[in-house]
Structures are given as C-alpha cells and as structure tokens.
C-alpha cells in the first residue's frame, strides 16, 4: 500500500484539524484516574489511539466508541498487572500507563520500546519523577517499573539534556495529583498537551496550578471524579496542511485549532513570504508562488515544535535561497532528508543537527519511503510540490497519527490517492536501505 501523488497542484480551501493525537493519548491516560466513566470527545480515529486503547484495556481500563470520535473510558477496574509486552513495545506513549497505575495502585510495570528512528527516547525523567514521590524504580528486561508502599508529595526537577520532557511532566502530574501532599515540578514542559491534561484533571477535582509555565504545583487529592472533556485540535496536523499550502503557493485555512498552540509557525510563515492570518480557532496562509528561505530552530514550547521540523524542511526545498533548520529536541531526526533528495532537493546535514537546504526551482516526482510518522508526512508534502508522479511508502507510520490525510489533501485540490498494489522494484528498495 502506498500513496500515489501527482504534485504541482496549488492547494486551496479549508480543512478541519482532527483531535490532537498527543493530547488525546495523555487525556486517555488521565481518564484511568477517576473510578467512573470519562467521556472524551473529538478523539482522532488513528492507529496509535487503538493501540493505547488495547493497552489500557489490558490493565483494566476498557473503553468504547459511542460515536465516531467519542470515547467512553471506564477507570473503575484498574488491575495490578503488566500489559502485554508486545503491545507496550508498539508505541512510546505506553509510558503513560505508569503514572496512573502508580498513583492508584502503588505499582506499575510497562515494557518499553528500544531506540527509535528520531533519536534516543529514554525514560529516566519519568522514573526520576516517580522516585521523587517516594517510589523505588528501575528498568529490567526491557520493562520500566515503579513501586511504593506510600507516595508523598515532593519537589522534583525534570530537565534532561535537551530541555524539559512533555511525557515526564505529564506522567509526574498523573501520579502526583492523587498523591497526598504538595508536589512541585521544576523545569516542567510548557507544551499545550500539558495545559490540556491539567485542565482535564482540575475539572475532575485535582488541584494543579502553573501549567503552561516552567513550575507546576500540585496539591494531591484523594480521588477524582469522571468528567466529559473535548480533545483540542491537532496542532501538528494543522501545521502539516498550512506548510503544504505554503509550499504549493496555495491558500489554505485550517479550522479547529488554537493559533496559540502553533508555536512560532504563523511568524515563520510570514518570514517565508506568506500572508498568515489567525483568528479564534483558525489559521489561514496565502503563499507566493515560491517561498523565501528562512532560518528556524526547534525546541521545547514555545519554540518551534520538533514534530513540525520534517514538514518544514520539505516545504523549504523549493524556496528561494538557502534555509537552515536546526533540530534541538531529538538527536537523529533528519533521516528522511535522503528520501527528499530523490525529488531533486538539495539538503546537507551539518553536525547531525542542522539541515542546510539549498532551494531549487523545480522538484520532480520519485518513489520515497517514510521511516516515522512526521517524516512520512514530510515526504507527502515534498511529493505535493514536485512535478510529476511520486509514490510514498510508509503508510503504517502515517496512519498512526493522521486521520484522513489523503482525503483532506484531495479536498484542497491535491492529486493524491491510496493505492493497494505493491510498489517498487527491488533495485529501488535496495537503494533505500543504503
């Protein structure tokens, strides 16, 4: 299965962002804390959500779809057991089971995936948070564990070598909000997902202040009540459509996303020569035929999100002049650039951390293969800007995080379709492994 894309069409129109994958995963984990039935509305129908549902069900928190995007999660029957390791290894976010299990049962053990195509993904900061709350922690036989007879509120600092951690901050919140005493998370991540989980937990009865800043204070409560909550629109998905619109000289509006959550993207789009307008719940970009080169650096919020980086690089391949995009969150997130080079893009990676992109006037279609979610989205954006036909493989990655990507691009005027037939010759495949 692959996407067949005939590039070069100017993308024009309006699309609505699906619910945020990364907010929904964290909110689902948070829904394990109340004993009743939590209702999450606007949950995207993507593969990662299904894997996480299965993981939650395996530890006694089953869920049901009551309509296309509404998930009802039962937190009443949480079990003291380890989720099947082959399931846990399927996704990074399996670590989100640990905070609620530790907070409610005093024990958690979860299998963790190994290295990943975007760089190291350690869990030391997650375990540091649990240890600060009084748990014994460790990693054994590919599983992370934490155990405590009694947890108590504590101060903790969660900054790693690349800055704050979104996952560790949320896991700390999930455990601390039901732990007696006051906890303070210094060096907390400020991403919108942290703000969302906090809003959910506070609606459920938690007492958390400071989310969205580097210091979060949590006063533990005995129990939480089940509530209903709307998952916010996906900021990374929104950025994907906006950058694709910009790269094709188009006029694209994305609805259902809060502009404040898009980091510095509107400003960056303006520097790239676009007109970018924001209003409550919508962002619109109107682009010139060729973008201007820019310099951009990813980082923890409010800097440019690392998840936007691959799509931004793809959009800059046809810009006028030389662009620099520096990656400061993950240590190996440029692997996809050799695939973009098949289109004729000129990208050089300096010191593993900076992409130097020399804009070219024309890209030509080519077969390409994605290696992770955002990288595959970047290849799609590259193909949309290239003249002629491209094929993009790696749909299993794309389907982990984008609901209806080709349908949305087609509604904007892209010539894109999913094709079931096997794609490429052995020769091309061998070349891809180089």
What residues are annotated to the active site? 116
Nearer to ligand EPZ, 351 or 361 (CB): 351
Q: Which burial class, exposed, middle or buried, applies to 324 when counting CB atoms under 10 A from its CB (0-12, 13-18, 19+)? A: middle
Verify binding: residue 112, ligand EPZ, rule CB under 6 A: no
Verify binding: residue 113, ligand EPZ, rule CB under 6 A: no
DSSP one-letter string for 21-55: HHHHHHHHHHTTSSSSEEEEES----HHHHHHHHH
Write the binding mask 24 to 43 for ligand EPZ: x where contact by CB under 6 A, - elsewhere: -x------------------
Shortest distance (Å) from residue 328 CB to ligand EPZ: 9
Q: Which residues 6+ apart lie within 8 Å of 316 measured at CB?
A: 247, 272, 291, 293, 294, 323, 325, 357, 359
Nearer to ligand EPZ, 21 or 53 (CB): 21
Contact assessment for residue 127 and residue 146, using Cβ atoms and an 8 Å cutoff? yes
Nearer to ligand EPZ, 189 or 208 (CB): 189
Nearer to ligand EPZ, 276 or 305 (CB): 305
Q: Which residues 6+ apart lie within 8 Å of 426 measured at CB?
A: none
Contact assessment for residue 41 and residue 281, using Cβ atoms and an 8 Å cutoff? no
Verify binding: residue 160, ligand EPZ, rule CB under 6 A: yes
User: Strand 228-230 to strand 37-41: parallel, antiparallel, or no bridges (unpaired)?
Assistant: parallel
Verify binding: residue 93, ligand EPZ, rule CB under 6 A: yes
Verify binding: residue 373, ligand EPZ, rule CB under 6 A: yes
Structure tokens at 159: 């900054």
Q: How many residues bind ligand EPZ (CB under 6 A)?
A: 29
Shortest distance (Å) from residue 104 CB to ligand EPZ: 21
Contact assessment for residue 358 and residue 346, using Cβ atoms and an 8 Å cutoff? yes
- Taken as a whole, the chain contains a residue count of 434
Write the binding mask 173 to 202 for ligand EPZ: x where contact by CB under 6 A, - elsewhere: ----------------x---x---------
Find the binder of ligand EPZ among 75, 167, 192, 249 (CB under 6 A).
Answer: 167
Tracing tokens 């504590």 back to the chain, one arrives at: 154
Write the binding mask 298 to 337 for ligand EPZ: x where contact by CB under 6 A, - elsewhere: -------xxx---------------------xx-------
The span of 27-35, 117-125, 174-182, 245-253 binding ligand EPZ (CB under 6 A) equals 117-125
- DSSP percent split of the chain into helix, strand, coil, nearest 5: 35, 30, 40
Q: How many CB atoms lie within 10 A of CB 240?
A: 31
Nearer to ligand EPZ, 71 or 386 (CB): 71
Beta bridge partners of 284: 253, 277
Q: Which residues 6+ apart lie within 8 Å of 329 measured at CB?
A: 162, 163, 298, 299, 300, 306
Find the binder of ligand EPZ among 100, 232, 259, 401 (CB under 6 A).
Answer: 401
Verify binding: residue 124, ligand EPZ, rule CB under 6 A: yes
Beta bridge partners of 155: 184
The span of 8-16, 157-165, 210-218, 281-289 binding ligand EPZ (CB under 6 A) equals 157-165
Residues of span 208-247 touching ligand EPZ by CB under 6 A = none
Shortest distance (Å) from residue 301 CB to ligand EPZ: 8
Nearer to ligand EPZ, 28 or 384 (CB): 28
Where do contacts with ligand EPZ occur on this chain (CB under 6 A)? 21-22, 25, 92-93, 120-126, 160-162, 165-168, 189, 193, 305-307, 329-330, 373-374, 401
């Amino acid at each position: 299965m692959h996407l067949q894309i005939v590039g070069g069409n100017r993308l024009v129109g309006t699309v609505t962002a699906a619910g945020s994958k990364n907010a929904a995963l964290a909110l689902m984990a948070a829904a394990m804390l109340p004993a009743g039935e939590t209702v999450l509305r606007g949950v995207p129908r993507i593969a990662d959500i299904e894997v996480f549902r299965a993981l939650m069900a395996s530890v006694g928190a089953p869920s049901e779809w009551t309509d296309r995007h509404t998930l009802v999660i039962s937190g009443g029957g949480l079990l003291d057991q380890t989720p099947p390791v082959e399931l846990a290894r399927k996704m990074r976010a399996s670590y989100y089971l640990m905070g609620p299990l530790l907070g409610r049962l005093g024990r958690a053990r979860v299998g963790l995936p190994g290295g990943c195509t975007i760089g190291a993904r350690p869990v030391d900061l997650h375990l540091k948070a649990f240890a600060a709350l009084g748990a014994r922690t460790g990693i054994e036989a590919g599983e992370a564990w934490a155990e405590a007879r009694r947890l108590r509120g504590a101060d903790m600092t969660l900054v790693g070598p690349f800055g704050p951690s979104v996952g560790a901050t949320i896991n700390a919140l999930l455990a601390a909000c039901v732990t007696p005493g006051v906890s303070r998370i210094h060096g907390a991540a400020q991403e919108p997902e942290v703000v969302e989980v906090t809003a959910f937990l506070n609606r459920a009865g938690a007492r958390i202040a400071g989310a969205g800043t580097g210091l979060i204070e949590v006063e533990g409560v005995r129990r939480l009540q089940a509530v209903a909550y709307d998952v916010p629109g996906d900021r990374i998905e929104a950025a994907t459509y906006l950058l694709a619109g910009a790269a094709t000289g188009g006029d694209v509006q994305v609805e259902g996303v809060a502009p404040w959550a898009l980091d510095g993207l509107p400003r960056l789009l303006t520097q790239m020569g676009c007109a970018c307008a924001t209003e409550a719940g919508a962002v619109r970009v109107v682009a010139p035929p060729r973008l201007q080169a820019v310099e951009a650096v990813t980082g923890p919020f409010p800097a440019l999100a690392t998840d936007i980086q691959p799509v931004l690089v793809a959009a800059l391949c046809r810009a006028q002049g030389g662009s620099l995009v520096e990656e400061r969150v993950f240590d190996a997130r440029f692997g996809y650039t050799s695939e973009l080079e098949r289109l004729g893009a000129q990208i050089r990676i300096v010191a593993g951390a900076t992409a130097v992109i020399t804009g070219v006037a024309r890209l030509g279609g080519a077969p390409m293969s994605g290696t992770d979610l955002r990288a595959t989205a970047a290849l799609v954006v590259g193909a949309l800007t290239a003249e002629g036909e491209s094929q993009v493989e790696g749909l299993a990655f794309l389907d982990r995080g984008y609901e209806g990507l080709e349908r949305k691009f087609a509604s904007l005027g892209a010539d894109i379709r999913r094709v079931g037939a096997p794609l490429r010759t052995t020769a091309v495949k061998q070349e891809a492994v180089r």
